[in-house]
């Protein structure tokens, strides 16, 4: 289906003709046999980051590695920050990563590594000929969302990530987050009960509405630990799945973020947030997980502050897409690990994940990430975006 295939010149990201970018899936203009599928690309700003993420792709695909290095060059040359790659050893083949293998990293490293990875994965997917009809992001995933939708260019995206990274470190460790597989109404009952038992009137909030049957709750670390203990012993909530998220280093999307409003907005106001990727290209439509509907305001400092302070409405907007587009929608999740698969499927939309975190204590094939990307591309083809996959392109 030709409107989902867009050729893109990535020559600026390639060091030499000897190392060409990943080629298009097929040089022919195929006609899709299925009826008008639409691609929603979702940049998810939550776990599970790990030291090896993106490394196998960087080994195999010069375009991906060149994109990662360009992100780092901008971080240093434009924003005067030390190299993420030199400081951590992330992404670069043959370099040992200095970060904790369990993914519990300093907040600035989480934010920058997520942005690098998501931008470069999107560059790789675009080089294969795919483009998005719709784009959405959650939490720090909205940084790459703005890049992918054409609202601003790479330099602006890295600048926004830098503003996040430098100011969020001021609230690092101010709280914790727990995932709970209940609807919003039951989640509020749990919050009320835990606060009552602790003799508190506040300190816990729903930070993300993942789906009709799952939320994230954030708050002070003491109260989150109390909630975890309550859910494990309460008869009323026996059998409810819950999981502490140790990789989330602060209480994002809650009032506990309020102390950094001024420095955060001041950092963003130094960046040209209107610098577009390509003024000639139409933007993909954006659904905002901040507002819960189609984006109809600028991605400015006020918008990104709302992103930090207020709960994300991922489930709501995915349901809206399902209602408007029905079975025609396929959601491609771009993150270090497809954490939203179940939530997306609960909303009635087909999910395709791009790469996955290796299973602990399991020997992983060195080409694992590359095979995962190939599998994702096959799934997109089978959904109707392309009729066939050209052999050898992703090998």
Greater confidence (38 vs 393) lies with 38
* pLDDT classification of 386: cutoffs 50, 70, 90: low
Mean pLDDT lowest among 22-26, 116-120, 172-176: 22-26
At how many degrees (to 10) do helices 62-77 and 154-168 cross? 60
DSSP 8-state secondary structure symbol assigned to residue 283: P
- What is 176-248's CATH topology? Alpha-Beta Plaits (3.30.70)
Torsion of CA 115, 139, 378, 383, to 10 degrees: -140
Domain boundaries, given as residue ranges, for the chain: 2-171+262-382, 176-248
- The residues that bridge with 209 in the sheet, in sequence order, are 215
Q: Is the C-alpha dihedral spanning 53, 56, 58, 62 positive or negative?
A: negative
Q: What is the pLDDT of residue 382?
A: 87
pLDDT tens digits, 38-83: 999 999 997 788 999 999 999 999 999 999 999 999 999 999 999 9
Q: Is the pLDDT of residue 324 over 90?
A: no
Tokens describing residue 20: 């060409």
DSSP 8-state secondary structure symbol assigned to residue 130: B
**Residue pair 215/178 in contact by the 8 Å Cβ criterion:** no
Torsion of CA 274, 280, 284, 290, to 10 degrees: 10
Mean pLDDT lowest among 10-24, 34-48, 97-111, 209-223: 10-24
- φ/ψ of 254, rounded to 5, equals -140, 165
The superfamily (CATH) of domain 2-171+262-382 is Malonyl-Coenzyme A Acyl Carrier Protein, domain 2 (3.40.366.10)
d(CA 276, CA 348): 33
For 69, 80, 91, 123, 344, the CA distances from 19, given in Å and listed in that order, are 15, 29, 18, 16, 37
Q: Is the pLDDT of residue 28 over 80?
A: no
pLDDT tens digits, 138-188: 999 999 999 999 999 999 999 999 999 999 888 988 999 999 999 999 999
138 closest CA partner among 174, 102, 177: 177
- φ/ψ of 379, rounded to 5, equals -65, -40
Q: What is the pLDDT of residue 383?
A: 87
* pLDDT classification of 255: cutoffs 50, 70, 90: very high
Does the fold of domain 176-248 match that of domain 2-171+262-382? no
d(CA 321, CA 342): 16
The distance in angstroms from the start CA to the end CA of the chain is 24
Mean pLDDT lowest among 12-21, 174-183, 239-248, 324-333: 12-21
**Residue pair 306/290 in contact by the 8 Å Cβ criterion:** yes
Please give the average per-residue pLDDT across 311-329, as a whole number: 90
* pLDDT classification of 278: cutoffs 50, 70, 90: low
Q: What is the pLDDT of residue 389?
A: 40
d(CA 238, CA 253): 27
Please give the average per-residue pLDDT across 318-343, as a whole number: 90
Predicted model pTM = 0.87
Q: Is the pLDDT of residue 195 over 50?
A: yes
For 7, 43, 46, 336, 390, the CA distances from 53, given in Å and listed in that order, are 27, 15, 14, 6, 26
Question: Which helix (DSSP H) or strand (DSSP E) does residue 237 occupy?
Answer: none
342: CB partners within 8 A, 6+ apart? 211, 214
Q: How high is the mean pLDDT of the chain?
A: 85
d(CA 284, CA 299): 14
Q: Is the pLDDT of residue 16 over 50?
A: no
For 23, 50, 60, 155, 356, the CA distances from 55, given in Å and listed in that order, are 19, 10, 9, 23, 12
Give percent above pLDDT 90 in the chain.
Answer: 67
Give percent above pLDDT 70 in the chain.
Answer: 84
């Amino acid at each position: 289906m030709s409107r989902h295939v867009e050729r893109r010149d990535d020559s600026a990201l390639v060091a030499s003709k000897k190392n060409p970018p990943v080629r298009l899936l097929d040089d022919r203009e195929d006609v899709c046999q299925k009826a008008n599928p639409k691609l929603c690309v979702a940049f998810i700003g939550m776990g599970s980051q790990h030291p090896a993420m993106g490394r196998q792709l960087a080994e195999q695909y010069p375009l991906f590695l060149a994109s990662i290095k360009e992100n780092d060059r901008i971080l240093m040359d434009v924003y005067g920050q030390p190299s993420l790659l030199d400081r951590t050893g992330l992404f670069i083949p043959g370099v040992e990563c200095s970060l904790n293998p369990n993914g519990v990293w300093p907040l600035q490293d989480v934010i920058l590594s997520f942005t690098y990875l998501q931008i470069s994965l999107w560059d790789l997917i675009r080089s294969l000929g795919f483009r998005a009809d719709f784009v959405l992001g959650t939490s720090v995933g909205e940084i790459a969302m703005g890049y992918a939708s054409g609202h601003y260019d790479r330099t602006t995206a890295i600048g926004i990530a830098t503003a996040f990274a430098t100011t969020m470190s001021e609230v690092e460790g101010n709280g914790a987050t727990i995932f709970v597989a209940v609807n919003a109404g039951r989640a509020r009952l749990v919050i009320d009960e835990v606060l009552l038992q602790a003799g508190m009137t506040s300190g816990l909030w729903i930070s993300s509405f993942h789906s009709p049957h799952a939320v994230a709750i954030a708050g002070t670390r003491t109260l989150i630990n109390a909630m975890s203990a309550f859910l494990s012993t309460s008869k009323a909530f026996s059998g409810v799945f819950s999981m502490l998220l140790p990789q989330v280093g602060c209480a994002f999307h809650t009032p506990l973020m309020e102390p950094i409003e001024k420095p955060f907005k001041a950092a963003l106001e130094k960046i040209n947030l209107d610098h577009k990727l390509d003024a000639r290209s139409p933007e993909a439509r954006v659904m905002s997980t901040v507002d819960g509907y189609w984006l109809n305001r600028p991605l400015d400092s006020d918008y990104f502050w709302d992103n930090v302070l207020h709960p994300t409405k991922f489930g709501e907007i995915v349901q809206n897409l399902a209602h408007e587009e029905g079975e025609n929608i396929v959601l491609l999740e771009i993150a270090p690990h497809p954490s939203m698969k179940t939530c997306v499927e609960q909303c009635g939309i087909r999910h395709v994940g791009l790469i996955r975190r290796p299973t602990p204590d399991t020997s992983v094939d060195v080409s694992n990430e590359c095979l995962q990307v190939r599998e994702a591309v096959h799934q997109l083809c089978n959904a109707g975006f392309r009729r066939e996959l050209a052999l050898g392109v992703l090998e």
